[in-house]
Structure 1
């Protein structure tokens, strides 16, 4: 993953699906970076046949009794199938993040 987290800076990433044996690349541009409360960036698949086009991801963070509450939104999608595909992907990523944060050892929670 490459990232330049500042307004106008870009990001690129790759996901690999062991289930389907496919690599997919995506990228975008940061529109707003306001630590510690807000992050806004564009998202687009780097594929010639991309029918989704560019979407905008907005993430806000708020204090919730000593914990962090995250609100996540991505849109607009051309149809419900595309929206649900992204929803599934993000939920999987959030589950992996939660597992990493809960893992014993040198994690952010154990410092």
Structure 2
């Protein structure tokens, strides 16, 4: 994690997968259901479509925390370059400030660099709780996308 200021976070990842595939995992609700949310959480609802101005929402569940609901608005989509959306926990799910998330994508030698920026947070403690959750979700994303990349290299259908 890179911290720019107390109220924001930046997580950068490098995936051993082509850019188009990594972006496809953000475009497809069906793919997102397989990796969205921290480890030990299961996403049970996700209304997600990359259309600027469109509301999105979801819910995930874990044994420790029960049901958590969240959502926001898709603000901007530049295919294969970036996705911008707001993120807000619903009442009872850890509600804080409405944050803005920008996910950036770049290709480097057949690999994909993905940056995840979220801000503002009302406290360092709340920001740090998101760091753990997002890193965990991105661990799931990384394993999922790299498995698909290997399967596609072998000519298997994904």
**TM tier, smaller:** 0.7 to 0.9
Per the normalisation by structure 1, the TM-score is 0.87
Question: Which structure 2 segments of 5+ residues have no match?
Answer: 1-45, 153-158
Q: Find the residue that maps to 1:96 and give its secondary structure.
A: helix
* Structure with the larger RCO, 1 or 2 (CA within 8 Å, 6+ apart): 2
Match of 1:110 in 2: 151
Higher share in helix = 2
SS at match of 2:68: strand
Matches within 5 A, 1:1-111: 1-18=46-63, 20-47=64-91, 50-103=94-147, 107-111=148-152
- Count of residues in Structure 1 that have an aligned counterpart in Structure 2: 107
Q: Could you give the per-residue CA deviations for residues 62-88 of structure 1, whole angstroms, max 9, x where no partner exists?
A: 011111100110010000010001111
8 A Cα contact 2:58 2:71, kept in partner: yes
Q: Runs of 4+ in structure 1 displaced over 6 angstroms?
A: none
Indicate the structure with greater strand content: 1
Q: TM-score, normalised by structure 2?
A: 0.62
